[in-house]
Amino acid sequence: MGDCTYMQAPKISFKKPIGSVCVSGHKFLGCPIPCGVVITRKEYMNTLCRDIEYIGSRDATITGSRSGHAPIFLWYAITKRGSLGLQKEAQSCIRNARYLHNRLREARIGAMLNEYSNIVVFEKPLDDEFSRRWSLACKGNIAHVVVMQHVTIEMLDLFVAEFLQKRSFWWFKDYGSSFQPRCIADEIGAANCSCSMHSLLS
């Protein structure tokens, strides 16, 4: 699959009915402190702005204050990578997320991945220790991972292999039979579920 497919992603524009756009610098960009940028429409900014007497100007920040270090960290992260570098990192994350999604589906693990996303949602592992070791975000019957820049194909292969091993062990321990995928159609949609009732739809 060529990287040109990623260029077809929809463009974000305020010509559409978008109220705001937020970018977290401490996530994808890896800044060492929580920071980010919020872009919003002028009328919303005017509602937020207020005159600050002791500095003799208007303030438009959400908390009424801001760190001088955060803009420096953001500037450095963006400048060091450049537009092309950031694009390549995003493409790599999306490509690896697609790889993980395909591996999970091949292993009959219900999984969902939105287009142009690096977040893979799948059925929650039966082993809580496994979930903690891999730092999975779990809720109810599902879990998800965010495939970031440091994630390699080898890590994803190891994750899926261990997932299957743990799943088979716990299922046989509890039920004494081969594993049957649980139904998670309500959480991620019938087309993404691998249970016996919905697997034919995928």
Q: In terms of domains, do 42 and 113 share one?
A: no
For 81-125, the pLDDT digits (tens) are 999 999 999 999 999 999 999 999 998 889 999 989 999 999 998
**Range list of β-strands (E), the chain:** 20-24, 36-40, 50-52, 57-59, 111-113, 119-123, 137-139, 142-146
Predicted confidence (pLDDT) per residue in 49-89, tens digit = 877 777 777 777 766 667 788 889 999 999 999 999 999 99
Mean pLDDT of 168-174: 60
Tell me, yes or no, whether 112 and 157 share the same domain: yes
**Cα dihedral angle (175, 180, 183, 187), rounded to 10 degrees?**
100
What is the number of structural domains in the chain?
A: 2
Same domain, 172 and 97: yes
Q: Is residue 63 part of a domain?
A: yes
Pair 141, 122: CB distance under 8 Å? no
Residues acting as catalytic residues? 117
Residue 39: inside a domain = yes
Within a domain: 80:
no
pLDDT recorded at residue 175: 52
Is residue 140 in some structural domain? yes
In a domain, 84, yes or no: no
Tell me which residue has tokens 């998800």.
144
CA–CA distance, 163 with 140 (Å, rounded to integer): 18
Mean pLDDT, the chain, as a whole number? 83
Same domain for 97 and 193, yes or no, is yes
Give yes or no: residues 126 and 184 share one domain.
yes
pLDDT at 158 over 70: yes
Q: In terms of domains, do 106 and 189 share one?
A: yes
Q: Are 149 and 172 in contact (CB under 8 A)?
A: no
Q: For residue 14, name the pLDDT band (cuts at 50, 70, 90).
A: confident
- Beta bridge partners, 57, equal 52
What is the pLDDT at residue 133?
93
User: Could you tell me if residue 76 is inside a domain?
Assistant: no
Distance CA 120, CA 202 (A): 16
Task: Give me the domain span that covers residue 121.
Answer: 90-201
